[in-house]
Structure 1
Amino acid sequence: MSHTEHSNTSNTVQQITFRLMRELNMTKVFGNPGSTELNFLNDFPEDFDYVLALQEASAVAMADGYAQATGNAAFVNLHSAAGVGHALGNIFTAFRNHAPLVITAGQQSRSILPFAPYLGAERAAEFPKPYVKWSIEPARPEDVPLAIAQAYHIAMQHPRGPTFVSIPSDDWDKVTVMPHYSKVIEGTTPSPAAIDQLLKALQPSQNLALVVGSDVDRQGAFETIITLAERLQAQVWEAPYSSRASFPQNHPQFAGFLSALPEHLSQKLAEYDVILVIGAPVFTLHLPGDMPLFNSDVAIYQITDDPMYAASASATTTLFGTIAHSIQALLDRLDPLPSNNADISATPIRPAAPQVNAATPIPVEYAIDVLSHARPADAIIVEEAPSHRPAIQRFLPIIQANGFYTMASGGLGYALPAAVGVALATDKRVICVIGDGSSMYSIQAIWTAVQLNLPVTVIVFNNSGYGAMHSFSKIMKNKSIPGLDLPDIDFVQLAKSMGCNGSRVSQHEQLAEAINTALDAPSSYLLEIIVDPNTRAIY
């Protein structure tokens, strides 16, 4: 039955909601149950899957990874205000990731809400703001299915993101009918006049830079951005802190990764006469400093569908449009390269990665290089190792669409559960590359991976501390910072306590065999690699 052919047959709110979720292809529910959710979960349908996370933040990150990998909104069920509070860090990440989620939370029964009940959420719809696109606690039980339908379509509209519906626990057994919800056909392009203005800047450019961000890959434009770069004969940079790889990092026109330090970023881009940023902010910075690029003669243009990206950009002309449609609109106006220019980009802009010598203690660059050569060609990387990100970017190139995920927010606790969500959405090997400090934010996600028999390989780079903070303390000239060291955590025993096989390697002679064993495991596996703690660097 289509969205325009609903019957007026009355059923309970719960029954109508499950029917609606089937129509919207949201039959996996990510959650951690509490008392205010039991009426929703009662007599759970056999054609639905309940993905149990052992903490609410992990439930949201699993749903985030699943939603991004499938391209459809994922359904999350949290426990009242306490569960939403636990989950807020990864709700913030989902917002920054443009991940479409329909997040629901149980609320106490309507009849006792005026009396400040135990587990009652005051002003529940306000709690997750501003990091949801839309939130509501429906005024009547009968409106719950319509609110979920509206939440779905708002979550799926670009820029995508999480939405939130608070549902009193006694709403589910009330009677209602299937709502007549709308269907949105997505896809917008900049106006012809806007494209004309952009082409007038691009076509005479003698030194053009293309800066790509995560929305390129997220919106299915990985292949078309290659065609655009080749036609424009542009050098391609990855935007700072991009949470997806949006251009093949072995392509001859790939120049590298932009820094989130303003002076470094300005230096990288100062030589160009025109910069076109697609699917990313202009620009994500981490520390304060001078940004001479914005005061130069370099012309900066941006294509985005995110009003916040436009509003926060400096010295930039913005064209609004969904990414894939906008790139195609540009390609429709650009002439193909002549056949005799097919090898115009044959000389790589970015030098090849240097040879890394084996040693003990194991240099993290060596470990990543061995992993890169051992991984299956179609393996997906989910990363949360900020202190080793430059090494990952140098020695673990991503060359395929949907091949890389990380958190756009910078908040830890995302990658391990997100790897579970990505693995649920695909039959490919998922490799979670994570630091020892990062892994402890969501280590319980390993249990879910084991219970679902997922092909997730967790690679823990153990440098016995918060390496990123060690690096930042040097950059910011801080001294005697407490709380940066993490000795004596046994990750293999933690994994085994949750039913996951694992091993530890500290000698470079055993590294290749250990990585192959981890990647060939029939189910989930954790490999802890003891890396040289002196190889901590984030820029």
Structure 2
Amino acid sequence: MNPVVRPPAAHGAPHTTTVREAVFQLLREFGMTSIFGNPGSTELPMFRDFPDDFRYVLGLQECVVVGMADGYAQATRNAAFINLHSAAGVGHAMGNIFTAYRNRTPLVITAGQQARSLLSFDPFLGSTQAAELPRPYVKWSVEPARAEDVPLAIARAYYIAMTPPRGPVLVSVPSDDWEVRTEAVPARQVARHLRPDPDLLGRIGAALDAARRPAIVVGAAVDRDGAWDEAVQLAERHNARVYVAPMSGRCSFPEDHPLWGGFLPPIRERIVALLDGHDLVFALGAPAFTYHVEGQGPHLPPGAALVQLTDDPQVAAWTPAGMAATGSIRLGLLDLLDRAPPAPRPAPALHARGARVPVPPAGERLPVDWVLQTLDDVRRRDSIVVEEAPSARPVMHRHLPMYASETFYTMCSGGLGYGLPAAVGVAMGKPGAKVIALIGDGSAMYAIQALWSAAQMALPIAVVILKNRRYAALHEFARLFGYREREAVPGTALPALDFIGLAAAQGVQGLRVERAEQLAPALAHALESAAPVLVEIEIA
């Protein structure tokens, strides 16, 4: 049987470029000229004659690669491009792919695959069912049927990633596809913001106007959609108390505003207690609600109704009560603000602020509340905090407030290993900004290799390690599962970690803080440095 031979393209025919050239031109048009990766053999053909106007951002492990890209995409408000290695590389990356999915971060991920001619023989490094591997934590994944279809698949992946609710997508590319001749695929304009249903918005607006004591619960989608100012205007128009939704990954309202009401915990009964007295709850760019532990009883206090504006139809579908409009948060808020102003209502009482924490006595380990209060005292108001210190987060809410849009990032997933590489990506995406990576000692060890990337790029990141020598958050949860107060929790002790040594080995200066008088000078030095500096703080 004679093999099928593809005839050469005639003069003027569309097959005038290679897959590689078509993809790089497409990435230029999408504004994705930074490629985050950790290369393997199946990816090498993509990078022959690597274009001068692109940069390759190397991470020393794939979870670091995806975390950096996630921070960069959030900071630049555009999808980031990632290149991973076959099945093993995608497997290493899955924790932060899951986090990107929960963060609603647009990522276009390509994964290397063995040559098409080998796939029938179960080859070394072949990815079996490559498109299935990252599911369900990508919006779309594919291994194109033909090499010629790779540029079109990457274009489609970008549009899907950027369509709200945004998220990661994956295209598996066999290694022998890059040299194949194909057609160029020009970038197109595709709608990224869908206006919510006007009838539903009208009903939500009428409910807000009629409420006696409305509450607004803001979530990460407010800041993601650039709707910070509009959220503040709506709260002021209605004199509504504003709370932050449980486990929100962004700051969506100024925490020093008179209408600020604090943070809702991921516990049903406590949410109901904190919202008691409100007759209308408006979940704005947030689920209603994210829970972390089992609960009982109603989702809302007696006499309260729920309305919602979300960019995610799935969230609207599982919300247990009330009416929900879906679409762009900012466009929906603009429509609500176009309504006639409601009748004046009195402002709620000011939310009680945490009292100043006194300096700890000499010789004692440093309390985390005093450490974070000191950090707030010495940092700039517009500095950016990227946080992954779960046991310290409730304390951070009281003593390290956020004041402005795009100044706070954390993971919405609960998966560790995001914060340190995400801080690198945010610093890349916001040159000139001061980025503070606030990281627990347990969290830091999931992706400590991100320090190397920060050092190689000389990024001005202050890495603050809260060193309590254990997975402290698990001690809090142990009580919920019936552990006695002093009962040991196996596998949670973290002795003998030397973050100064780990930093030095990767080219980052490290400072150790053990006494109160050392803290402010060490933080000031890290915040003033033009290069990354790690501050290891021994906390109680």
Sort the TM-score into its range (normalised by shorter chain).
Answer: over 0.9
| Whole-Å separation in 1 of the counterparts to 2:270 and 2:353 | 21
Greater displacement, 33-42 / 476-485: 476-485
Q: How does 1:342-491 map to 2 (within 5 A)?
A: 345=347, 349-359=350-360, 360-426=364-430, 427-478=432-483, 479-491=487-499
Query: Which residue number in structure 2 is paired with residue 187 of structure 1?
Result: 193
Q: Do the aligned residues in 2 keep the contact of 1:258 with 1:268 (CA within 8 Å)? A: yes
Instruction: Describe the superposition over 1:416-443 as per-residue Cα deviations: whole angstroms up to 9, x where unpaired.
Output: 0000000001120100001000000000
Which of these residues, 205, 212, 215, is aligned with residue 218 of structure 2? 212
Map of 2:296 onto structure 1: 290
- Work out which of the residue numbers 184, 198, 205 in structure 1 matches 2:204: 198
What SS does the corresponding residue of 2:403 show, helix, strand or coil? coil
Q: CA deviation at 1:335?
A: 2.0
- Residue pairs, 1:194-343, within 5 angstroms: 194-294=200-300, 296-335=302-341
Alignment RMSD, CA only? 1.6
How far off its partner does 1:348 sit? 6.1
1:139 aligned counterpart, secondary structure = coil
Stretches of structure 2 lacking an aligned partner (at least 5 in a row): 1-12
Distance in 1 (CA, whole Å) between partners of 2:187 and 2:144 is 15
Counterpart residue identity of residue 474, structure 1: R
The one-character-per-residue Cα deviations of 1:358-390 (angstroms, maximum 9, x if unpaired) are: 112100000000000111222100000000001
| Residue 519 (str. 1) matches residue 522 (str. 2) | no
Distance (Å, rounded) in 2 between the aligned partners of 1:337 and 1:397 = 32
Deviation at 1:336, TM superposition (A): 7.9
Q: Matches of 1:348 and 1:250 in 2, distance apart?
A: 14
Does the CA contact (< 8 Å) of 1:189 and 1:329 recur in 2?
no
Equivalent pair of 1:103/1:163 in contact (CA under 8 Å)? yes
Deviates more, 1:301-310 or 1:173-182: 173-182
Tell me the number of residue pairs that the alignment of Structure 1 and Structure 2 aligns. Answer: 522
Distance in 1 of aligned mates of 2:28 and 2:186: 15
SS in 2 for 1:352: coil
Cα distance in 2, alignment partners of residues 181 and 507 from structure 1: 57
Classify the secondary structure of the residue corresponding to 2:299.
helix
CA contact (8 A) 1:303 1:318 kept: yes
Which letter maps to 2:266? A
Asked if structure 1 preserves the Cα contact closer than 8 Å seen for 2:461 and 2:533, the reply is yes
Structure 1 contact 138–167 (Cα < 8 Å) conserved: yes
Secondary structure of 2:210's counterpart equals coil
Residue in structure 2 matching 1:116, options 100, 118, 122: 122
2:154 corresponds to 1:148: yes
* TM-score of the two chains, using structure 1 as the length reference: 0.94
2:537 to 523, 526, 529: 529
CA deviation profile, 1:265-322 (whole Å, cap 9, x unmatched): 1111122100000111110000001142348331001101202211221112111111
TM-score for both structures, normalised by structure 2: 0.94
Q: Distance in 2 between matches of 1:523 and 1:334?
A: 51
Structure 1 residues 390 and 211, CA gap change in structure 2 (3 angstroms): same
AA at the equivalent of 2:328: T
Are residues 295 and 217 of structure 1, via their aligned partners in 2, closer, same or farther at CA, if it must alter by over 3 Å? closer
Q: Secondary structure at the match of 2:232?
A: helix
Query: Separation in 2 of the partners of 1:389 and 1:180?
Result: 45
**CA–CA separation in structure 1 for the residues paired with 2:227 and 2:201:** 18
Measure, in 2, the Cα distance between the counterparts of 1:238 and 1:314. Answer: 19
Secondary structure, in 3 states, of the residue corresponding to 2:88? helix
CA distance, structure 1, for counterparts of residue 223 and residue 201 of structure 2: 22
Q: 8 Å contact 1:62–1:417 — kept in the other structure?
A: yes
C-alpha separation in 2, matches of 1:430 and 1:46: 28
Cα pair 2:163 2:193 within 8 Å, conserved: no
Determine the C-alpha separation between the residues in 2 that align with 1:331 and 1:255.
22
* Aligned twin of 1:171: 177
1:433 partner SS: strand
Question: Tell me, what secondary structure is at the counterpart of 1:77?
Answer: strand
1:123-138, aligned counterparts within 5 Å?
Answer: 123-138=129-144
- 1:505 paired residue number: 513
Q: Structure 1 residues 101-110 or 353-362, which shifts more? A: 353-362
Gaps of 5+ in 1: 1-6, 533-539
Distance 1:425 1:121 in 2: 32
Q: State the shift of 1:517 in Å.
A: 1.2
Q: Which residue of 2 aligns with 1:49?
A: 55
TM-aligned CA deviation for residue 352 of structure 1:
2.4
Q: Residues 334 and 445 (structure 1 numbering): CA distance in 2 closer, same or farther, change over 3 Å?
A: farther
Whether the 8 Å CA contact 2:468–2:539 is kept in 1: the answer is yes
**Counterpart secondary structure, 1:422:** helix
Letter in 2 for 1:401: S
- Secondary structure of 1:293 counterpart: coil
Post-superposition shift, 1:480? 3.3
Contact 1:269/1:293 (CA < 8 Å) preserved in 2? Answer: no
1:337: how far off?
8.6
SS in 1 for 2:415: coil
- The 1-side partners of 2:442 and 2:128 are apart by 34
Letter of the 1:216 counterpart: V
Is the contact between residue 231 and residue 337 of structure 1 (CA under 8 Å) also seen in structure 2? no
User: 1:394 is aligned with what amino acid?
Assistant: R
> CA offsets, 1:142-186, max 9 Å, x none?
110110010001000000000000000000011111125542122
Judge conservation of contact 2:276–2:301 (CA < 8 Å) in 1.
no
- Give percent identity, aligned residues only: 49
Question: What amino acid does structure 2 have at the position aligned with 1:148?
Answer: I
Q: For residues 21-57 of structure 1, what are the alpha-carbon distances to aligned partners after superposition, in whole Å with 9 as ceiling and x for unaligned?
A: 0000000000100000000112211110100000001
User: Contact 2:382–2:403 (CA<8 Å) still a contact in 1?
Assistant: no
